[in-house]
Amino acid sequence: MSIDLKNLTIKKAHEALTRGDFTAVQLAGSYLKNIEEKNPSLNAYLEVFDDVLSQAEKADKRIKEGRAALLTGIPMAIKDNIMIEGRKVSAASKILENYTAAYDATVIRKLKEAGAVFLGRTNMDEFAMGSSTENSAFGVTKNPHDTSRVAGGSSGGGAAAVAADMALAALGSDTGGSIRQPASFCGVVGLKPTYGAVSRYGLIALGSSLDCIGPLAKTVEDARIIFDCIKGKDEFDGTSVDFTKELSAIPDTISFTATKNFLGAVDLKDLREQTLESYSKACDTLSAAGFHYKTAEFQGPTAFDYSLPAYYIIMPAEASANLARFDGVKYGLYKGGEALLDDYGKTRAFGFGEEVRRRILVGAYVLSHGYYDAYYNKAQKIRTLIKETFNNLFKEADVVIWPTTPTAAWKIGEKKDPVSVYLSDIFTVSANIAGIPAISVPFGEVEVNGKRLPLGVQLMASYGRENILFEVAAKLLKF
């Protein structure tokens, strides 16, 4: 039977499944057909699981027994750095190409308990290091809106899968914008939760103080449904927090802050004309929807001027420590040498890609004797200033609005200089540094060479206030 995947949402699918309009097996089969047709050209999936239909059969049984949750039978894609017991999980790296996960990530366990159907694992930048999925060891993921362009990163596979109707929703991870940026490029919704709101247990770590797992979805409501399923304190993650009390109430009136110069991070004149137009229209739309609008203006440099350089010190430092475990001894790729040190060198030289090696070297450098205080400690002080700046903003407003990215998706292979790629994270890294929640929603398009490319707008709120983000984002898209 034919199912209208383009207009399907989680709630619509749930209602149709419980009414018997179609079965979970039929729904999964429709997505498998789309994957078969589209994935060869998009490379969103690294692997499609061979038991998708049997997972769907179990969901159908649960539905017939009247035990269906909202996510029962919902086909989802999982980023290749989130562990599913008995499945390969490579982080899109040669060094873990054939590694099989020994346990379920907490988010996976919760989704299994809800009855979700896992379609497969999606492509990403190697170890989540990148903003375009061009750094995957297994080929770039292409943008469904224009296959000559990147899908974004590092969760590019998941964003492309949702945008191309190859999954109803996906899980990604966000260390400096890795959910929000591909969501913007592909025209979907992407949520980076408050740090600690979702357990990181079972996520292959990049930057442990920055990493967050979150949803990619077609609607704000779908993102909220998935977040409500996976959130919560976890005994296996000491940084996880129960924000139930904080999430329970929404203010009677919500105000938002836009910034004339984006708090010093980027001046308006540095934005592409189309991005500025989309951002300005989003501010006007929220005002017309009844939200009180303030403009924040700063004289001189602020902490946000240094958010990107601070991020690219903190993240590589943590990455160099986290990736030290991949040495060819305990698990993963092994390349033998004449002695132990030679084993390490050959294994890591062959197993790690260029961008991963670059960030390990930078991280080791900023943590080394004589440079730790000059770089890493100074970056942590800037982190404190960024948190304080956000705290002051949230005393005046409930939501801060920025663009998600300075531009629409760029051409594959266009950016040769790694720094130019790093600059694409300029609007997203601050939320990770501060640990606050942020959501990117599709808002506007730009025509380039006859192709309509999506643009995104980003909303940020204070710690544990995802409920406000969902409320404002939903009204932004509906008004």
Rounded distance between C-alpha atoms, residue 463 and residue 208, angstroms: 18
**Contact assessment for residue 189 and residue 473, using Cβ atoms and an 8 Å cutoff:** yes
Rounded distance between C-alpha atoms, residue 36 and residue 31, angstroms: 9
Cis peptide upstream of residue 41 (ω within 30 degrees of 0): no
Alpha-carbon separation of residue 315 from 205, 248, 361, 459, 464 (angstroms): 11, 32, 12, 23, 23
Q: Strands (DSSP E) along 205-298, which ranges?
A: 212-217, 255-259, 292-296
**Contact assessment for residue 182 and residue 442, using Cβ atoms and an 8 Å cutoff:** no
- Strand 399-403 and strand 255-259: the pairing is parallel
Burial of residue 57 (CB within 10 Å: 0-12, 13-18, 19+) is middle
**Residue 148 carries which DSSP code?**
E
Residue 117 bridge partners (DSSP): 75
* CA dihedral sign, ordered 186, 204, 134, 408: positive
Instruction: Answer left, alpha or beta for residue 245, where phi above 0 means left and psi between -120 and 50 means alpha.
Output: alpha
Rounded distance between C-alpha atoms, residue 354 and residue 171, angstroms: 26
How many CB atoms neighbour CB 147 within 10 A? 14
Give the closest residue to 126 by CA, choosing from 117, 118, 136, 134. Answer: 136
Helix-, strand-, coil-residue percentages of the chain, each rounded to 5? 45, 20, 40
Say whether 461 sits in a helix, a strand or coil.
strand
Say whether 452 sits in a helix, a strand or coil.
strand
HSE at residue 239, side-chain half, CA atoms within 13 A, is: 13
What residues are labeled active site? 79, 154, 178
Rounded distance between C-alpha atoms, residue 242 and residue 248, angstroms: 12
**Residue 290 carries which DSSP code?**
T
